[in-house]
Amino acid sequence: MNNPIYPGITLNNHYRIVRELGHGGFGRTYLAEDAHRFNEPCVLKEFAPQVQGSYALQKSEELFEREAGVLYKLQHNQIPRFRELFRVSIIDRGYLFLVQDYVPGQTYRFLLDARKRQGLRFIEAEINQLLIQILPVLEYIHSLGVLHRDISPDNLILRLSDGMPVLIDFGGVKEVAATVESLFAEANSTPAPATRIGKLGYAPVEQMQMGIVYPHSDLYALAATVLVLLTGKEPHQLLDSQTLNWNWRSQCSLSPNLSLVLDKMLAHSPSQRYSSAREVLLALSGNPPLQPQSQPAYFAPTQPPEHSPIPVPIPLPTPVPKLPGTPVRAVAIANQQKMPAWKMVLFVVAVLSSMGGVGWFAGNYLLNLQSKIQTISPIPQSSGPKQQQEDALRDRFSKLKIDDRFYSGYVNLVDENFYAKYPELGGRLLKEGDDDRQWRERWQKIGDELLDKLENLSSDARARLGTYDTTDLDRWKTEVNKLNLSSRALYDLADAKFFYWFPRQPRDRNIIGLPIGQIWQAITADSLTALQAGATVESVEFDSRAKSKTLTGNLKPGEGKAYIARFAQNQILSVNLQAPPKSTLLSIYSPGNTNKPKALLQDAEGLSWSRTLDDAGFYEFVVVSQSSQPIAYELNLETK
């Protein structure tokens, strides 16, 4: 049966479905807009246990409401806020939905997969930060008698707004769904054992086999998640099925303290694990509790303790200072103002008149303007070959879901490339008929080639073409600074793809506000997303006694990679890049903590550089390809 819940439908006169986010054993998850909150995005989780009979349905709703009450009392910045539980009937079938806040960001599963495609994994510094940021969340929920029961890379989101991990998809409601099905399954006179919640390999054995859970069950799952992020291997690839021991040391090298902490979190015997998230935090800080706390073997989440301990704040490390960023794209960006619409119309008309025609689509451009200016009378459109080719391009434009506001800019770009490639035409207007048929086909080929490039953008970046402005540059600067990168590094990565796509574009041209600038900004938006996913950035850490670090990588045409490394003031830094001749550009940026941030090296083809550093903090190294072929490179950093 086709799913009766589809994009565009409004449920409960309240929530408009935008798209499906995923589905599992108990139903689907949707992104929706809350009509009662100015179309604010939210998440709808559908739970549809296969039960029959009014009593079973009533009982299941009571159980769901009880569990929803548990979620309602969770008020934490790193847990999506629970909004409500509601039931709707569609085509004589009841649906139960749980509504929560939407968290813009990517799951750690997505981030790991993105890194694995680049041959990368999470590093120890990132894991330490993740543990320090997520353990207080577990301490909070455990203090309320609530367990997550399903921690994994799929249920942790790196929030885009502040880079904090968010815990999603609590297992309690899924446990209710499983219990309902086992208790009220059709044609089952004897209730079947309830399905255990938790992912095989992530949840400890006692949880999967007996459904017995305790706070250390969540800590076990968190440690398993951490090892997956560090090694890129799934638990069954690291866990000995005979001894149930974790064999991960051959896959990654960690500091002795973190190794011991993970081993204790993953101990096969529950009594040997940490009893609380606070104990893990203290152990990570190098200050384990003097007297281990005694604990019962297990904790039943449906019967929370009457008195829950009040969580005591753990001091977190001082936040890493954010780097300032200076846009390298266009000198006059900050002071640029939008041209009023009426002036734009006059400007376009004047340009068209002075050129004597800029292409056989120029008339269509004016028609688009006429649709917005009611004082101009409509002109009937031709249905000849020109119109057919235009319709074909418009159809593809629509399929790519590009905003119509960019169509006129797209036509201008095609005209610009067409007349630059065929200067013998002198910019004359193309005609109908066989005389200009080949020229029209060449124009359309250039148009198709441009759309081929735009097809490589993400759907979100494409959808915003025609609407980017300078406020996006300010927002991206703020976002990339959160990654300890400057906007200069972001723009270098964007430039790599942009100039690979448009090699004839001058590098010193101010393109912000132009149609070609819209494409550059869309590429920049995607470049920022890749950085936030960890796909194009790597934090470099030197071993305790090492004075040099060698980094290797592969770049496809138009690709780049950024590295971040912390150095002290007055250190002598030598940088050497080994790559095919004239295949790469290297840029080095200072942190700007003590002195004004600056480009120590920018878009340089030279392979060696050395200098005494006049600032302390995170230095940025950006390697981008300017080759038309895939290349391999080796970047060596050496300090004295």
Q: What is the pLDDT of residues 8-59, one digit of tens each?
A: 899 988 999 988 887 765 678 899 999 888 889 999 988 765 555 556 566 6
Looking at residue 60, its pLDDT comes to 64
Evaluate whether 403 touches 459 at the Cβ level (below 8 Å).
no
Looking at residue 346, its pLDDT comes to 42
Evaluate whether 481 touches 537 at the Cβ level (below 8 Å).
no
- Residues 488-513, mean pLDDT to the nearest whole number: 89
Q: Which two tokens stand for residue 194?
A: 């309830």
Q: Reduce the DSSP state of residue 515 to 3 states and report it.
A: helix
Comparison of pLDDT for 196 and 544, the residue scoring more: 544
Q: Reduce the DSSP state of residue 475 to 3 states and report it.
A: helix
**Model confidence at 326, in pLDDT bands (50, 70, 90)?**
very low
Distance CA 442, CA 446 (A): 6
- Residues 272-296, mean pLDDT to the nearest whole number: 75
Residue 298 has pLDDT above 50, yes or no: no
- Give the position of tokens 């499906």: 20
**Model confidence at 215, in pLDDT bands (50, 70, 90)?**
very high
Evaluate whether 640 touches 614 at the Cβ level (below 8 Å).
no
Comparison of pLDDT for 165 and 200, the residue scoring more: 165
Distance CA 66, CA 579 (A): 62
Model pTM? Answer: 0.47
C-alpha dist (Å) from residue 77 to 80, 124, 136, 455: 7, 25, 11, 37
pLDDT in tens, 77-99: 999 998 888 888 877 777 888 89
Q: Is 631 left (phi over 0), alpha (psi -120 to 50) or beta?
A: beta
Looking at residue 467, its pLDDT comes to 86
Annotate 336-391 with DSSP letters as a single string: --PPPHHHHHHHHHHHHHHHT-S-TTHHHHHHHHHTT-TTSPP-PPP-SHHHHHHH
**Model confidence at 286, in pLDDT bands (50, 70, 90)?**
confident
Comparison of pLDDT for 255 and 21, the residue scoring more: 255
pLDDT in tens, 407-442: 877 887 888 888 888 888 777 777 777 888 888 889
Distance CA 47, CA 45 (A): 7
Exposed / middle / buried, residue 541 (Cβ in 10 Å: 0-12, 13-18, 19+): middle
**Model confidence at 482, in pLDDT bands (50, 70, 90)?**
very high
Looking at residue 348, its pLDDT comes to 39
Evaluate whether 15 touches 99 at the Cβ level (below 8 Å).
yes
Q: Label each residue of 387-437 as H, E or C.
A: HHHHHHHHHHHHHCCCCHHHHHHHHHHHHHHHHHHCHHHCCCCCCCCHHHH
Residue 168 has pLDDT above 50, yes or no: yes
Residue 504 has pLDDT above 90, yes or no: no
Report for 363-372, 380-389, 459-468, 518-527: range of highest mean pLDDT = 518-527
CA atoms within 13 A on the CB side of 429: 14
* Total residue length of the chain: 640
Which has the closest alpha carbon to 454: 507, 406, 405? 406
Comparison of pLDDT for 272 and 318, the residue scoring more: 272
Distance CA 462, CA 523 (A): 9
Mean predicted lDDT score pLDDT of the chain: 78
Q: Domains in the chain, start-ordered, CATH in brackets?
A: 10-101 (3.30.200.20), 105-187+195-284 (1.10.510.10), 341-463 (no CATH), 470-639 (2.60.120.380)
Query: Of 67-76, 481-490, 547-556, which range is least confident?
Result: 67-76
Element (H, E) at 576: strand 572-578
Q: Which two tokens stand for residue 347?
A: 């400007």
Evaluate whether 276 touches 267 at the Cβ level (below 8 Å).
no
Element (H, E) at 477: helix 470-481
Q: Give the residue numbers marked as catalytic.
A: 150
Looking at residue 433, its pLDDT comes to 76
Comparison of pLDDT for 608 and 557, the residue scoring more: 557
- Residues 378-406, mean pLDDT to the nearest whole number: 67
